[in-house]
Structure 1
Amino acid sequence: MFGFQKRSGLFFMRRILHGGLIEALSIALVMMIGFASCAWSESRFNVAKHVPKDAALQPILVDGDTPWLVMTADYENPAIQAAIRNAERDWYKVFGYPPVIFRDVTRRAWSGPVIAFGSAANTKHLFESNVPEGKEQFRLTTSEVKQNPAITVVGSDTRGTIFAIYTFCEEVLGVDPMYLFTDNQPAKCGAISLAADFDIVSSKPTFEYRGWFINDEELHDGMHRDPLGGNVISMEWMDKILETLLRCKGNMIAPESAPFSDASVYELCKRRDVVITFHHILPVGLNMMDWPKKVPFSFVDHKDILVDAWTKSAKVLADKKVAWTIGFRGESDGAFWNSDPSAPKDDAGRAAVIAEAMQTQTDIIRKIDPDATIIAALWNEQGRFYNDGLLKVPDGVCKMFADDGRGFMRDKGDGSDLDPGDGLYYHVMMMMNTQNRTTEGVPPARFYSELKRYVEKGATKYAIINVSGIRPAAMSVEAITDFLWDANPGLRSSPQEAMKEYLNDWYAKEFGPVLAPELTALRLHYYDIPYMREQMPIQGRWRGARGEHLIQYLTQELLKKYGKAIQNGEDLRAIRGFETQFQQAKEPLAETAGFFPSLWEQTKQLESKIPADRKDYYQAHFTYQVAVHMYSCRMLSMVNNAFDHYGQNRDALAFADEMELALEELEKLLEEAHRAEYGNWDTMFMHVRLMDMWRTRLLLKESIAMIQGEPCTSGYRGIMNGSFWGSAQAYMDHGDGVFPYFYRHSGRGLEVLENRNSIPVVANEQR
């Protein structure tokens, strides 16, 4: 009558045939008592087995009518309240009933089991939770609350309580922490049995600050733009991102590329108990992407202007939990000397300016909070200057080393420049015309290998991960966040073996354990796409570890730079730079023609085995991701052939005919993209603007039409010509405030903001 599915030591009962619920549960309970000692073998957390205090304690059967016990003092905490509300929704998804919730005490009329949620401080009068000491710790275990058998879900502090609640949702209710981005809904069931020795105990996280950077946020901006214009991303969607981050045991976020220091998104982070941080273009939280016109920018001739702006930015953020970043770059994320004509001309002089700016920023922050966590963002030229011994980082500041956008760290590589308390910035998605914008691109084995020395050296204070749109790289986003929480599984074997183990577990979660080995093999085959290897077959400009954006970019560059010359019948080889550009367009295609047929065949064969309710996600996560590489390569190969043939015979019409064939390959790619657009993602690829496939299509059509003398529209789409940066700038222009603010502050509000003597500071124990 019932089907049983073992998951993480739990037994989910699904009603298969009609019949009385009470009778069915009674039968199931008898069947499950025999499984009471099952191991919690699949949990992601440390598990401590113990002998129950009451030897007669039996497995606890939880169903939709099992009441919760919540402490009023905890519920009044906005961050814990948000997690409880999310858990209520999860409960409803699984059982079909909203939970009954007792406040502070159980009911005498109820002698059955309860689920007690709360912090150690607010539940200690009812039961002893034995939660590990320290920040962010939690424990889920069987216990008793007065006369009631209980599952206690308790945290050491606010964030520990949040993690406890979400761990209950994941490990007991079967909710995928990444469900928002994987569309993976929990199975509905009638009841869940937990063994008498059920016990999940946290341990100290590997990295103290574990965060996501929502950078190049074209997908979030396109599908979930803030209708009031106060942020790029709507607060409803950002709240879901924060929920997902917390479910994955992250605790920090850089929520957008260029928010102003008084942006409302920071208030949302505060309510969610998520630490705010910034990337290298927002030192002290100051938005340097939008420096006001006609205001001098110089830390050489006009230091007072920058010091004033940094100070105002720090003050407006003083009541938040912040991991501050310091550094000095110029406008719009360029080197500062590109924005300041008076800047030194040599590296030593430039490094000295950056060092002085960093020290000034540190002093401003320390006046507000002497114990603040401060991060020196060693990105790009700042990292190079530090590695060359030219840049001094202020004392007591965490050095944040960065990768190169491909997942290879830019430290010295042997750990000699890493100190305890240092940190890192890492990309699993990246916009630099050559990486992954719509796919998985960084194999977990790469960051297991690259970040191992950080763990060994204790350089684990801070880690911020560039996750961009999240959805395309959901697996690697979760994988690296899991690593930051607990690096041991990624380091206890070779990087390749650890990756295989993680992939198998992840695909078991997403598609079921039966298919997991085949899906793991498919993903490993995908990672072997020739230009995605750490070293390409041809070692030219691109070297290796590249993504699908490179293929689209090379196609666009050839058409933009040389399409007009072909229309005019010019000799391409007489044009300076063409030969180099053409050779670079050939490099990444080496070995791809022979590689893709077997990968595509493997992808399509597995497609038929995928359960009906997961076929859409398989299309998005596998079929599209293989298709975008394969069809893009075929397109570029045909474009290259057309250029090669034109160079031999100068026949523009023949060139146009070959462009028609390239366009057909792109249209096949777009068909696969459309099949991956469904539900919440129904317009997803419309908003891919940094790797603009629509731009590629229009360039091909324009080139063909111009040669054939046919009418054409434009090589661009949209009112902003497909520009994400134009959209982001529109957000910044929307503000009516006075720099460095977004909103107009006046009267007493501005006086308090800028002139108050006593600024509320977050205490150390609250960070």
Structure 2
Amino acid sequence: MNIVLNHSTTVIVPNDAPASVQYAVEDIQRDLANVFGSCDCGSAANFTAGATIRLKHEELPAERYRVHVADGDLVVEAGDDLGWVYGLYAISRELLGVKDLWFWNDQHIEPIDSITVPDATVLEPKAGGDAVRYKGFFVNDEVLLEDWSVNNDPNLPWRRVFETILRLGGNTVIPGSGQRGESHLAMARAMGLYINQHHATPLGATMFSEAYPGVRARWPEEQERFEALWREAIEAGHDGRTIWTLGFRGQGDSPFWAADPRYDTDESRGQVMSEVIRRQYELVREANPEAPCSVYLYGEAMDLYRKGLLHFPDDVIKIWSDNGFGRMVSRRQGNWNPRIDAMPSAADSGRNGIYYHASFYDLQAANHITPLCVDPRHIVDELQSVLNNGGNDLWIINSSNVKPHAFMLDLIARMWRDGQVDVDAFEREYAAAYYGDAAVDTCVAGIEGYRKESIAYGPAWDDRAGEQFLNHVPRMLAVQFMRDRAAADSELRWMCEAGHIEATSLADQVRYYASLVEPAAERYRRLSCQLEASTAALEADHPRAARLLRDSILLHITVYRHCSAGAASLCRALLAGFEGDWQHAFYYAGLARESFLAANAAMRSREHGKWRNFWRNDCLTDVKQTAMVCEALMGQLRAIGDGPHYYQWKRDFLYPEWEKDVMVIMNMENHESDQEIFEAMKTAWQE
């Protein structure tokens, strides 16, 4: 017979259920309360008790579940805790209608009295399991999450991150960057997730220089001390689910030979890294013979492996890395961009996985506070190639602060579950799920417009500029102008080389950059206006959809609109400076400052409700810092053009015409600030 779920539905948990199940039970009880919380059950005579959700032990493969109706209850069968966890979240998603990204997309739940569950209902994962064995997020560059709390609880955002991983079918996490993630390890483990470690902190061990300050981190001289740290880390984590990262880097995210120049050949470097990895592997196996292990083929490790100089056991998962823009090639580092293939090899007999970026931070052109700008169809094709080449053992997805990347994270999770995605259908499903049917066309137009109007700074499909291109590059150009405007900025050679442009001077670099950002500013202005008009049309009948559009897609486009306008104004300022037109240089630098402040204000304006202060600690892209650099540039430009006595610009813009050229005394009032002079210029020059 059919059963009914309503406000009286409860969950019965076996006495031996671990903490991970208790967390999931709390979540589904919250969802039940939200779905049925406003129920008016009427008189006691009309009251119908809701069915119970009951967890039952059953011999099923690890992480598998089966939800069905039995004896008037809704039964979740599983052989382990993660099976129950996934089964409970399946009930939340499939029966209660609570979406996987409900928290990040502010899903509105309209309370109802009850839900009828047909007797024939069966919920279970697809046959054969997910496309990827271990999968989850690396919560990296987590500066927004770390500065934000929900309900005055700074740990609650992290709980929601871990819940999201599990809802998406994931089972793995790196809960923060390096040692900063340690405070979140206990909760991640308690919720049932496998812990992986950043490639810069193998085994999650304390950095050598932190443990032994003043002692040089050398191998093999300090092998005993290194092993003590490794053993300590293994002891701390071997009782929980762990995927152990093996490797050997310097004291920070750099090669070990940067501080030990004795190893000056690839052969010697590969030998040391192979020795260290083998020893770490042995120590892990002593503690747990079945524990999965991984090695990140990142930077120098991939180069040595490709050359046949890095060796480790076949059952160690090789983690290949994309370049931060969705392409499985080596990342650009400074001006060096060899784009070496980083795709797993189908002929490789070992185990393979990937470290893949939904978010990236490179101080050049990546996306950190906004979504990837590449076509999601290319992302799907790249991930399908990974699977076709045997890269299905471990996927670590750099999720950064989650909220700006919700769409891409959902798409990638679909790939780790199903191994394929129809992007056109997915976009519309995503839009309908979170924005509502009435907003689907507007939402999809925004998603597609966002990536189509992005700046192509090179010929490859992944050469698409994120918000860092509109912030770090302007800061570099401005600082170089202030430092030495006669010389090109050597750190920007990559930009011109990507566009096959020869730039021998800073002016050349500015002109080339202007050729990219000026048309982009107009494109983003036009797209922003179009999407704002569509959003405004939804406002009356679909206010929640309009609000979510302004919180997400429209906000991202608005950030690009202001940042590209600011970058274009900065270029005009510098070009005027090269011509010695200091007044216009100062004026355009002021306009640039205003644009970057507007981008920051746009983010802060969307901090309603639980999102209060979410954008406050934008300290990596740091749009407000770009405005500060523009302000510093204004000061220098005014010093050159109006200093050291600072009276001529006052006369030019604040004195009446008849008095400008009458020089009896330089000035009769206090000197104006840079901002006051700028406002006077705007009055004079803007219509």
Alpha carbons of structure 1 residues 417 and 112: separation in structure 2 relative to 1, 3 Å = same
| Pairing of 1:255-654 with structure 2 (within 5 A) | 255-259=175-179, 263-288=182-207, 291-292=210-211, 293-342=213-262, 344-410=263-329, 411=341, 413=343, 415-416=345-346, 418-419=348-349, 421-433=351-363, 434-441=365-372, 442-488=374-420, 490=421, 498-531=422-455, 536=456, 539=459, 544-563=463-482, 578-579=506-507, 581-582=509-510, 585-586=513-514, 588-589=516-517, 591-608=519-536, 609=538, 611-647=542-578, 649-654=579-584
Amino acid at match of 1:137: R
Find the residue that maps to 1:179 and give its secondary structure: coil
Deviation at 1:294, TM superposition (A): 0.3
Q: Is the 8 A contact 1:117 1:165 kept in 2?
A: no
Q: Deviations over 1:127-182 (max 9, x none)?
A: xxxx8x311111222x332xxx3332333321010111111111111112222211
8 Å CA contact 2:367–2:467 kept in 1: the answer is: yes
More deviation, 428-437/174-183: 174-183
1:690 is matched with 620
Show the counterpart of 1:157. Answer: 80
1:118 paired residue among 32, 55, 68: 55
1:432 Cα deviation from its structure 2 partner: 0.6
Tell me whether 1:68 sits opposite 2:10 in the alignment: yes
Distance verdict in 2 for CA 1:318–1:211, change over 3 Å? same
TM superposition shift of 1:421: 3.0
Assess if the C-alpha contact under 8 Å between 1:94 and 1:186 holds in 2. yes
Residue number in structure 2 paired with 1:238: 158
Q: Which moved more, 1:317-326 or 1:667-676?
A: 667-676
In structure 2, which of residues 111, 133, 139 is the aligned counterpart of residue 208 of structure 1? 133
For residues 451-490 of structure 1, give each alpha carbon's deviation from its aligned partner in whole angstroms, at most 9, with x where no partner exists.
21232243211111110110111111122123212224x2
User: Residue 186 and residue 361 in structure 1: after superposition, are their counterparts in 2 closer, same or farther (change >3 A)?
Assistant: same
Contact persistence 1:258–1:287 (CA under 8 A)? no
Are residues 1:172 and 2:80 paired? no
Once the two structures are TM-superposed, the CA of residue 707 in structure 1 deviates from its matched residue by 3.1
Aligned to 1:673: 603
Q: Which amino acid aligns with 2:139?
A: I
Instruction: Name the Cα RMSD after superposition.
Output: 3.0
Instruction: State the match for 2:338 in structure 1.
Output: none
Equivalent pairs counted in the alignment come to 606
1:591, CA displacement in angstroms?
A: 4.3
CA-to-aligned-CA distance 1:534-573 (integer Å, 9 cap, x gap): xx26559x971221111101111112221355xxxx6567
Deviation at 1:349, TM superposition (A): 2.0
Residues 220 and 113 (structure 1 numbering): CA distance in 2 closer, same or farther, change over 3 Å?
Answer: closer
* Cα distance, 1:99–1:369 mapped onto 2, change above 3 Å: farther
Assess, with a 3 A threshold, how the Cα gap between structure 1 residues 573 and 511 changes in structure 2: closer, same or farther. closer
Question: Matches of 2:267 and 2:506 in 1, distance apart?
Answer: 36
1:144 is aligned with what amino acid? Answer: A
Residue of structure 1 in register with 2:656 after alignment: none
Aligned partner of 2:556: which letter?
Q
Matches of residues 29-44 of structure 1 in structure 2 within 5 Å? none
- The amino acid across from 1:190 in the alignment is D
How far the C-alpha of 1:186 sits from its partner, in A, is 1.9
- Quickly say closer, same or farther: Cα 1:355–1:420, change in 2 above 3 A: closer
Summarize deviations over 1:319-368 as a string: whole Å, max 9, x none: 111000111111121111112243x1122222222111111111111111
CA drift of 1:419 comes to 4.3
CA distance in 1, matches of 2:66, 2:448: 36
1 CA distance for matches of 2:396 and 2:85? 20
For structure 1, list consecutive stretches of 5 or more residues without a partner in the other structure: 1-56, 101-109, 122-130, 228-232, 491-497, 714-767
- Cα distance in 2 for residues equivalent to 1:549 and 1:165: 40
Q: Rate the CA distance shift 1:226–1:656 in 2: closer, same or farther, 3 A.
A: same
CA contact (8 A) 1:116 1:152 kept: yes
AA in 1 matched with 2:244? W
Q: Deviations over 1:204-259 (max 9, x none)?
A: 111111111111110111114999xxxxx944432222122212221111001112
Residue ranges of structure 2 left out of the alignment (5+ in a row): 42-46, 330-340, 491-503, 640-671, 676-687
Task: Output the CA distance in 2 between the equivalents of 1:468 and 1:686.
Answer: 15
Q: SS of 1:153's equivalent?
A: strand
Q: 1:226 to 1:241 in 2, by over 3 A?
A: same
Sort the Cα spacing of 1:455 and 1:226 in 2 relative to 1 into closer, same or farther, 3 A.
same
- Asked if 1 retains the 8 angstrom alpha-carbon contact of 2:10 and 2:29, the reply is no
| SS of alignment partner, residue 328 of structure 2 | coil
Percent of aligned pairs sharing the same letter: 20
Normalization by structure 1: what TM-score? 0.74
1:392 deviates by 1.9
